[in-house]
Copies of this chain bind each other. A is one copy, B any other.
Amino acid sequence: MVRKSTSKETARKPNMREAILAAAEELFATNGFNAVSVRDIAHAAGANPGSVTYHFKTKDGLLLEIYRRHCGPMNLRRSELLAAARRVRDLQDRLEAIVRAYVVPAFTSGSDLAGGGARFTRLRAVMSAEGNEVARKIIAQTFDDTSHAFIDAIHESLPHIPRTDIVWRSHFLLGALYYSLVTPERVSRLSRGEVDGSDAAGAIEQLVRATVAAFQAPALDQAEPARRRPVVSSKT
């Protein structure tokens, strides 16, 4: 209802709305939802607090709009990559391609949105940890379809593994992915400076390699529970 492209300009506009969204995204992703005030966001965006209310009505509305902004493009990208991955003939290569299709969009720029998917993925990680209600609803109704599609695809390339095991392992994948984005500095610290945890390319390669192996692990045989359990459990 706004769109003012009468003459020549079609894309660029020093938009306050965009600035607020970007600032909020960054602040929410690093500090959580409740630790950031509307005034903080406005200040970071160079805007007036009232302007946030004007554009997004409430703080929840602002968060909602951030999600709306990213979910579509990211899931589209994932669908495309997943479709391509499904066409890989070699089963081992296909599994890796599927995992990559899941991981890459989460780490790198989601379509035309500035800043990229890493910030948004980190935001999702933080909201999920905080148990944010707004986020929970959107996540469940937006990402579950994608998650199921990936689980199905992985299951197809690993038919001998029960679906429950694949669910668990893809859950672990998401956890590892989230945590890598939340505290990359921990990787740098624990490696004594040998690796940069913030390096997306490096993180992706490591995550893909580890995750593919995890998916390929033999399934948990719930039929015969105590086959060859190793020691330690309740020794000391």
Interface residues of A in 168-215 (CB under 8 A from B): 168-180, 182-183, 186-187, 189-191, 194-195, 197, 203, 205-207, 209-215
A80 within 8 Å of B (CB atoms): yes
Contacting A175 at CB < 8 Å: which of B148, B175, B232? Answer: B175
A129 within 8 Å of B (CB atoms): yes
**From residue A85, how far is it (CB to closest CB) to chain B in Å?**
5
For residue A80, which residues in chain B have a CB less than 8 angstroms away from its CB?
Answer: 236
User: Is the Cβ of B212 less than 8 Å from the Cβ of A217?
Assistant: yes
A159 within 8 Å of B (CB atoms): no
A175 to B174, CA, bound (A): 8
A147 within 8 Å of B (CB atoms): yes
A106 within 8 Å of B (CB atoms): no
When all copies of this chain in the complex are counted, the total is 2
A85 to B180, CA, bound (A): 27
| Contact A97-B169, Cβ < 8 Å, known A189-B144, A217-B212 | no
A90 to B165, CA, bound (A): 26
Q: How large is the interface on A (under 10, 10 to 19, 20 to 34, 35 or more residues)?
A: 35 or more
A164 within 8 Å of B (CB atoms): yes
Contacting A84 at CB < 8 Å: which of B170, B186, B191, B235? Answer: B235
A32 within 8 Å of B (CB atoms): yes
User: Is the Cβ of A130 less than 8 Å from the Cβ of B35?
Assistant: yes
User: Is the Cβ of B178 less than 8 Å from the Cβ of A88?
Assistant: no
Chain A to chain B contacts (Cβ below 8 Å), 21 pairs: A88-B232, A126-B130, A128-B129, A128-B179, A163-B191, A165-B206, A167-B190, A167-B194, A168-B203, A169-B210, A170-B190, A171-B187, A172-B176, A172-B180, A175-B175, A175-B177, A175-B179, A179-B179, A209-B220, A210-B214, A212-B217
Interface residues of A (CB under 8 A from B): 30-35, 80-81, 83-85, 88, 90, 93, 96-97, 100-101, 104, 125-126, 128-131, 140, 144, 147-148, 151, 163-165, 167-180, 182-183, 186-187, 189-191, 194-195, 197, 203, 205-207, 209-218, 220, 230-233, 235-236
- Given A164-B194, A209-B220; 15 other pairs, CB 8 A cutoff: A31-B131, A32-B32, A84-B235, A93-B230, A147-B190, A167-B194, A171-B180, A172-B176, A172-B179, A172-B206, A174-B179, A179-B179, A206-B220, A211-B214, A213-B216
